[in-house]
Amino acid sequence: MLTPLGWGTAAVSAPLYAAGWWLGYPEPAMFGLAGLAAVAGAALWALPQAKLDVSREIAPKKVERGEPAVGVLHVTNKGRGARGVSAQDAAGSDSVAVDVPRLRPGGTRTVTYRLPTGRRGEIPVGPLRLVRADPLRLARRIREYGRPEVLLVRPRTVPLSLLPSGRAHHLDGPTSDRSPAGTATFHALREYVIGDELRHIHWKSSARTGTLMVRQLVDASLPTTTIVLETRPGAWAEPDDFELAVDAAASVAMAAASANFPVRLLTGEGQLTETRGGRDDVEALLDRLTSVGTQERPQSAMDAVRRVRAGGSLVVVTSGAVELGEVAAVRNRFDRVVVLRARPPGPVSAPPGVQVIDFGDLDGLAGSWRRLGRVR
């Protein structure tokens, strides 16, 4: 209950009073007595417990990094009075000072305060810590109120157009034999192999050729935009560079999902998420990128690319540390490959079939992306 100042005052006042009384000097004894009285009075001041009912709201609960968000507290005094009370609300590792006005018994006040949104992530807000302290700050009593809430500070985004991706745009389905098998669209005839369903046998072709032939069916699906985010700590010189890369990945993902195209997010750890596209998926993608961070494992993000289904567009978001040769090695598995380099150390020559965009901020990314859409 006593603060360090209170303990220090008591530690000095007690021997000062004892020495003054023992040696017969009234002045030191009076100073010591006054100090002890101040400490005792401070302890009595802080002893009463404020009886408050506190509820919290966060508006809005999801914001882009740097956008404003506020906490709203509804405070009701259920006791006799609430004097000498200050408040602090936890916001992640930070504390936000809250100005709680003096409340009459039964009174209710609403307090609004700004929340920090400069750092991306899931920011726990609360509980509210009410501190009752004496005017001399010799004693204080702390009590927590209200349930914590979560503020999602998501990546910043910039509007981008959908990246065209070659042959996968055919509405009659994929035109490659590597397309995933399905049940919807006829693709070609091929020889029967053990395990094929008998209902797919094309009897006329089988009679004509003397070999069992089956209809190969595929699913007519939209091309997937595969976004690969480099998360190795050594790839990023500054934390702000990684934040810019996350913003770029979020912008590309939002552009594809908003156009109702499937999106796949990858890091060196593997697949983060895969969506079919749509407004709800935009929210899911941004929420998933809210908590992504650098990983200590040494795997390259390109290792994860080799394990996913081919086709569509591949967008690699890196700082420039990624070897473009690794990207070129998977070039033939995708219809279009783009490398986004956030604040790279210097220019590079792009391998054949790979387009490279260097950018220093989101506005620069948007401008380069528009020019990229005109190049096929």
Q: What is the predicted pLDDT for the residue at 97? A: 83
What DSSP designation does 137 have?
A: -
Looking at the domain covering 52-154, what would its CATH class be?
mainly beta
Q: Cβ neighbours of residue 89 under 8 Å, at least 6 residues apart?
A: 56, 71, 73, 95, 96, 98, 113, 125, 126, 127, 128, 129
How far is the C-alpha of 214 from the C-alpha of 196, rounded, in Å?
A: 8
Hey, which CATH number is domain 225-373, 3.40.30.10, 3.40.50.1820, 3.40.50.410, 3.30.2230.10? 3.40.50.410
Please state, as a whole number, how many other Cβ atoms lie within 10 Å of the Cβ of residue 209.
12
DSSP structure string for 59-111: ESSEEETTS--EEEEEEEE-SS-B-SEEEEEEETTEEEEE----B-TT-EEEE
Q: Give the orientation angle of helix 239-258 with respect to helix 362-373, to 10 degrees.
A: 40
How far is the C-alpha of 313 from the C-alpha of 306, rounded, in Å?
A: 14
Q: Give the orientation angle of helix 279-290 with respect to helix 239-258, to 10 degrees.
A: 170
Q: What is the predicted pLDDT for the residue at 177? A: 46
Extended strands (E) in 138-224: 140-145, 149-154, 181-191, 213-218
Using the structure block, give the residue that is written with the tokens 């001399």: 136
CA-CA-CA-CA torsion sign (241, 246, 251, 253): positive
How far is the C-alpha of 339 from the C-alpha of 307, rounded, in Å?
A: 19
How far is the C-alpha of 153 from the C-alpha of 69, rounded, in Å?
A: 9
Contact predicate 368/374, CB 8 Å: no
Look up residue 146 and give its two tokens: 């209200």
Q: Is 193 left (phi over 0), alpha (psi -120 to 50) or beta?
A: beta
pLDDT per residue rounded down to tens, the chain (376 residues): 788 887 888 888 888 878 888 878 788 888 888 888 888 887 887 777 777 788 888 999 999 999 999 999 888 888 765 555 677 888 887 888 887 777 788 888 888 889 999 889 999 998 888 777 777 878 877 888 778 889 999 999 999 988 765 444 444 444 444 444 444 555 578 888 887 888 888 888 888 888 898 887 655 567 889 999 988 877 788 889 999 999 999 999 999 999 888 999 998 778 888 888 788 889 999 999 999 988 776 567 777 788 888 888 999 998 875 678 888 888 888 989 999 999 888 888 888 888 999 999 999 999 999 887 655 5
Q: What is the predicted pLDDT for the residue at 375? A: 55
How far is the C-alpha of 98 from the C-alpha of 109, rounded, in Å?
A: 13
Q: What is the predicted pLDDT for the residue at 127? A: 85
Task: Choose among 60, 82, 79: nearest CA to 69.
Answer: 60
Contact predicate 141/1, CB 8 Å: yes
Look up residue 195 and give its two tokens: 């395990």
Extended strands (E) in the chain: 52-59, 62-64, 70-77, 85-91, 94-98, 108-114, 121-133, 140-145, 149-154, 181-191, 213-218, 225-229, 263-267, 270-275, 313-318, 336-342, 354-359
Q: What is the predicted pLDDT for the residue at 185? A: 55
